[in-house]
Amino acid sequence: MRSRVGVSVGLAVFVLIAVARASSAVVVSGSVVLDPATPVCRTGHACTKPLTGFRLAFWRHGKVAARVVTNSHGRYRVTLAPGLYGVTTPSPLQPGLRPRRITVPAVAHVARNFRYDAGIR
């Protein structure tokens, strides 16, 4: 009888921990770079540059879950629940963002970087 109770309690604790992790917030951070940053890329010179003040919107279930603006180094940081998100810019005139979807795993922190092609070529 004690063995069954111990297994049941252990299983219940495991389920509670799994549910708590699945519903907890995840810090998502990374960078957004302009790629290409010049019409012609040259060997030995960077062809990307950080995008400062760039706006990102993270969508889930048809609603904006969070908005963020990159800092002076093109970096951002946002807290999201685990799951699949669409990522856009506020303007429909800016379709060059990649990737357009990200997965946020149930971990404490995850890095997700973006590239933006402004179509200068």
Q: What is the CA radius of gyration of the chain?
A: 20
Determine, yes or no, domain membership for 8.
no
**Predicted model pTM:** 0.75
Determine, yes or no, domain membership for 36.
yes
pLDDT-derived band at 13 (thresholds 50, 70, 90) equals very low
Instruction: Give me the CATH number covering residue 64.
Output: 2.60.40.10
Taking alpha carbons only, the member of 66, 62, 51, 60 closest to residue 114 is 51
CA 52 → CA 26, 48, 49, 83, 91, distances in Å? 23, 13, 9, 27, 16
Determine, yes or no, domain membership for 3.
no
What pLDDT does 101 receive?
Answer: 96
Task: Name the more confident of 9 and 34.
Answer: 34
Domain range enclosing 99: 25-116
pLDDT in tens, 15-30: 344 444 445 899 999 9
pLDDT in tens, 55-114: 999 999 999 999 999 999 999 999 999 999 999 997 666 678 999 999 999 999 999 999
What pLDDT does 16 receive?
Answer: 40
What pLDDT does 28 receive?
Answer: 98
Determine, yes or no, domain membership for 11.
no
